[in-house]
């Protein structure tokens, strides 16, 4: 019979000794039961949330998704012509060249709702400002004003430009990303000054005129008749019936 004193001693002494099997103890099943209840509760809450999103709030989120899929963009339409009783054209509409900017390409709207150009966008605007001989700050001001009028439509930065600049920008469109040359409708008077006293003038709709009945369909920044025939027949000349 060997002497127990000759057995090698373990390097680490156990803290405690389990007298019964761990999986057979009552504490083990209590812990497992608690974990199962917690897991089932979490899955139940998640399931209720998904059911709420689908069944109760599903229609609301469907409308939100649809609203984000479609955007209303205001495009300027040609104003109707004015003729005399003999059919002679007194006032017509022709196209002029302008430059618009994609505000999403050239800048971002900050947390305060103010549009600010990105570094790359500011470089583009500075290049355009040098070519058009317009201060950069003025182009940025026009951009912000256009965003307030119609947030999703291209912003007008140059209402009128010469053909040479328009061709220069179109030939180098890849170098002027976010800028585009467009045709803008403009009034023309084939008879010169004939009838200028009663034909009237156009001007940007003011805050006061928004409350007037004849300008009820006007949009911010739109040009409307301010005097003469242009003002008297505003509804018809603007496309109303």
Q: What average pLDDT does this structure show over 106-113?
A: 82
Q: What average pLDDT does this structure show over 103-116?
A: 84
pLDDT for res 55: 77
Taking the C-alpha atoms of 150, 151, 155 and 156 in order, what is their torsion angle to the nearest 10 degrees?
A: 20
pLDDT tier at 109, thresholds 50, 70, 90: confident
pLDDT at 16 over 60: no
pLDDT for res 125: 92
Distance of CA 188 to the CA centre of its chain: 33
Among 64-73, 86-95, 101-110, 148-157, name the one with the lowest average pLDDT: 64-73
Residue 81 near residue 121, CB atoms below 8 Å: no
Residues near 217 by beta carbon (within 8 Å), at least 6 away in sequence = 235, 238, 240
The dihedral sign for the CA sequence 216, 218, 221, 227:
negative
Bigger pLDDT: 184 vs 85: 85
pLDDT tier at 127, thresholds 50, 70, 90: very high
Q: What average pLDDT does this structure show over 210-221?
A: 72
C-alpha 122/C-alpha 39 separation (Å) is 54
pLDDT at 115 over 80: yes
Instruction: Enumerate the β-bridge partners of residue 91.
Output: 82
Average pLDDT, whole number, for the chain?
79
Which residue reads 């156990």 in tokens? 14
Residue 98 near residue 184, CB atoms below 8 Å: yes
pLDDT at 20 over 80: no
pLDDT at 73 over 80: no
pLDDT at 215 over 80: no
Bigger pLDDT: 154 vs 88: 88
pLDDT for res 190: 86
C-alpha 236/C-alpha 211 separation (Å) is 19
Q: Which of 117, 153, 102 is nearest to 126 (CA)?
A: 117
pLDDT for res 67: 64
The phi-psi region of residue 188 (left if phi > 0; otherwise alpha if psi is between -120 and 50; otherwise beta) is: beta
Global pTM reads 0.54
């Amino acid at each position: 019979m060997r002497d127990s004193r000759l057995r090698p001693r373990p390097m680490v002494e156990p803290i405690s000794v389990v007298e019964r099997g761990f999986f057979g103890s009552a504490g083990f099943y209590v812990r497992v039961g608690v974990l199962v209840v917690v897991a089932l509760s979490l899955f139940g809450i998640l399931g209720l949330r998904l059911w709420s999103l689908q069944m109760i709030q599903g229609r609301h989120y469907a409308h939100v998704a649809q609203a984000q899929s479609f955007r209303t963009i205001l495009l300027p339409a040609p104003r109707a012509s004015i003729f005399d009783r003999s059919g002679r054209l007194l006032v017509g509409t022709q196209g002029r060249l302008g430059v618009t900017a994609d505000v999403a390409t050239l800048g971002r709207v900050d947390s305060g709702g103010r549009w600010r150009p990105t570094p790359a966008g500011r470089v583009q605007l500075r290049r355009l400002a040098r070519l058009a001989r317009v201060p950069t700050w003025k182009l940025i001001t026009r951009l912000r004003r256009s965003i307030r009028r119609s947030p999703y439509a291209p912003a007008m930065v140059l209402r009128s430009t010469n053909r040479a600049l328009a061709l220069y920008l179109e030939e180098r469109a890849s170098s002027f990303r976010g800028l585009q040359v467009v045709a803008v409708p403009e009034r023309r008077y084939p008879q010169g000054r004939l009838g200028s006293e009663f034909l009237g003038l156009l001007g940007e709709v003011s805050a006061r005129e928004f409350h007037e009945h004849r300008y009820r369909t006007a949009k911010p920044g739109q040009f409307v008749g301010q005097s003469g025939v242009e003002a008297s027949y505003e509804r018809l000349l603007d496309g109303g019936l």
